Amino acid sequence: MVKLKFIPILLGLFALQLSAQETTEPNPFSIKWDNGFKVTSQDKKFKLKFGGRIMWDHAYFKQDDDLDAYFGELESSDGTEFRRVRFYMSGLIYKNFEFKLNVDWAGGITTLKDAYIGVRNIPIVGTIRVGHLKEPLRFDALTSSKYIVFLERGIPADISNERNNGILLMNDFLDDKLSIQAGIFRNANSNGNDKFADESMALTYRLTTLAINDLKKEKLLHFGISHSYRKPDRDEFSISIRPKSHLSKKYISTGNIEDVNTVNIVNAEAVYSIGPFTAQAEYLADFVHQENAEVSQTYQFGNYYAQVSFFITGEHRPYIDSYEAFGRVKPFKNFMDGSSGAGAFEVALRYGYTNLNSKDVYGGTQGDITIGVNWYLNPAARIMFNYVYTDIDHKDVGFGKLHIAEVRFQVDF
């Protein structure tokens, strides 16, 4: 069995072999760079893409005396990590059969992200995918980490799994103005296995509409709503949220809620974009039903965010489709490419709020204000700066404040 670490080597040898064939005999495949390596057959029935991403973060923290008193002083005022170190390959076989493999090595741990196969262009149904893939829930979560505006997403992934094992059906109607995705999933671990998931399952579906999609005017208006009905794999359920830095520790948490029967998640999303300006907002409600011989009650926890971004240099954020959301930003002039270009500059502002208080659970509330500056050196590289001001309100500690300054160096292809 070939280990995953040898995949880049094998693909490199494959590309060299194809290149060598060009000098000796006609090559039925073409190889090109399009912000990633792409191999395509002349008849377009076979396509292969492979690439990766490296995201290196460094953050500085400062918390006030109230947080020091309740949560303890910070072990360190700064931290660094490889947030993502990934390699992926995807492709199309015989025109309508697709696959994707996406593996992460961040933190020295091998984690399976995407591993699915699918069939496209099925009448009425559209596309079917099976394997380990993203559930159709939350616009910001569906946007690739390569293209998000801030270092961390607005809707916390801690509310529910971002990816899971399952079967996904999706299709677009009315000239892509209406999109539907629906899937059945089982809870999986970081390697896509669910041998001990018992009777756990999730039924997740999403409906979106493009009220406006004017490519010439770079104008977009998107609305969506999604719902996930979930049966936990254990009777216990908990949510814990960190401020908008992956290097930060978590301050608010529901703790373990026992005798949980079902969990229902509802998410609403809205996106408006015109030229260099984009506004985006989502609201998520999590209904956790507890039932035993003594009590039957439903806890409600919530999260929302609203954000705006603007390209000072005039670029715009391209929309791929309902399931993949936003895509790659391409500067008008790249930095240090033999011309006087400086790349693209984007400024952004976001407010987010999470409430983990409900009935007899006092998990706390957290509000985050994030200011971001993104420098796109070229379509494959950027530097991101975030300042995060976090207000934490906990029953036992009162108000506490945390300041975070963070930078990310990113390359993806």
C-alpha dist (Å) from residue 326 to 62, 321, 345: 33, 8, 17
- Which is it for the CA torsion 165, 9, 15, 31, positive or negative? positive
Residue 135 has a CB neighbour count (10 Å cut-off) of 26
Nearest to 379 by CA among 341, 343, 342, 409: 343
Q: According to DSSP H, which parts of 113-239 are helical?
A: 139-142
Please give the Cα distance from 86 to 6 (Å, whole number). Answer: 13
Q: Give 292's pLDDT tier (boundaries 50, 70, 90).
A: confident
Tell whether 41 is covered by a domain. Answer: no
Whether 192 and 339 map to the same domain: the answer is yes
Q: Is residue 408 part of a domain?
A: yes
What residues contact residue 398 under an 8 Å CB cut-off, 6+ apart?
66
For residues 130 and 18, state if they share a domain.
Answer: no
**Same domain, residue pair 200 and 105:** yes
Q: Summarize pLDDT for 165-174 with one digit per residue, the tens.
A: 999 999 999 9
Q: What Rg, from alpha-carbon coordinates, does the chain have?
A: 22
Does a structural domain hold residue 13? yes
Phi/psi of residue 226, nearest 5 degrees? -140, 160
Six-digit token string for 277: 């300006």
Same-domain pairing of 114 and 241: yes
Mean pLDDT, range 11-28, rounded to an integer:
57
Question: What's the pTM?
Answer: 0.88
Residue 387, CA distances (Å) to 61, 81, 100, 122, 150 in order: 10, 17, 35, 46, 10
Which is nearest to 280 in space by CA: 154, 388, 159?
154
Kindly state the DSSP code that residue 258 receives in the 8-state scheme.
P
Does residue 39 sit within a domain?
no
pLDDT in tens, 242-278: 999 999 999 999 999 999 999 999 999 999 999 999 9
Structure confidence at residue 113 (pLDDT): 93
Q: How many domains does the chain have?
A: 2
Q: Which residue has the higher pLDDT, 292 or 118?
A: 118
CA–CA distance, 235 with 171 (Å, rounded to integer): 35
The pLDDT tens digits for 310-348 are 999 999 999 999 999 999 999 999 999 877 899 999 999
Domain contains 57: yes
pLDDT above 90 (res 9): no
**Out of 7-16, 148-157, 203-212, which region has the weakest mean confidence (pLDDT)?**
7-16
CATH number for the domain harbouring residue 363 = 2.40.160.10
The pLDDT > 70 percentage for the chain reads: 90
What are the start-end ranges of the E strands in 123-231? 126-134, 163-173, 178-186, 201-214, 219-231
Confidence (pLDDT) at 216: 85
Report which DSSP code applies to 195: T
pLDDT, mean over the chain: 90
Q: Which residue has the tokens 């998931």?
A: 197
Handedness of CA 144, 147, 150, 155 (dihedral sign): negative
Predicted confidence (pLDDT) per residue in 68-100, tens digit: 888 888 888 999 999 999 999 999 999 999 999
Q: Which residue segment(s) compose the domain that 122 sits in?
A: 46-412
Residue type, 279: A
- Would you say residue 361 lies in a domain? yes
Residues contacting 354, CB < 8 A, separation 6+: 156, 241, 252, 301, 302, 303, 365, 366, 367
Distance CA 233, CA 161 (A): 13
Residues 261, 137, single domain; the answer is yes
Q: Tens digit of pLDDT for each residue in 41-57?
A: 988 899 999 999 999 99
230 and 146 in a common domain: yes
Judge if 27 and 134 occupy the same domain: no
Both 363 and 298 in a single domain? yes
pLDDT greater than 80 at residue 27: no
The answer on 68 and 26 residing in a single domain is no
pLDDT higher than 50, residue 1: no
10 and 112 together in one domain: no
Residue 65 lies in a domain: yes
Q: Is residue 315 part of a domain?
A: yes
DSSP 55-105: EEEEEEEEE-HHHHHHH---S-SEEEEEEEEEEEEEEEETTTEEEEEEEE-
Compute the distance between CA of residue 352 and CA of residue 358 in angstroms, rounded to an integer. 19
Query: Which tops the pLDDT comparison, 209 or 12?
Result: 209
* Residues 189 and 300 placed together within one structural domain of the fold: yes
Residues 315 and 286 in one domain: yes
330 near 316, Cβ under 8 Å?
no
Task: Give the Å distances, CA to CA, from 303 to 104, 225, 306, 352, 384.
Answer: 28, 15, 11, 7, 24
Contact 377, 334 (CB under 8 A): yes
pLDDT of residue 2: 41
Query: Which tops the pLDDT comparison, 91 or 24?
Result: 91
Predicted confidence band of residue 364 (pLDDT cuts 50, 70, 90): very high
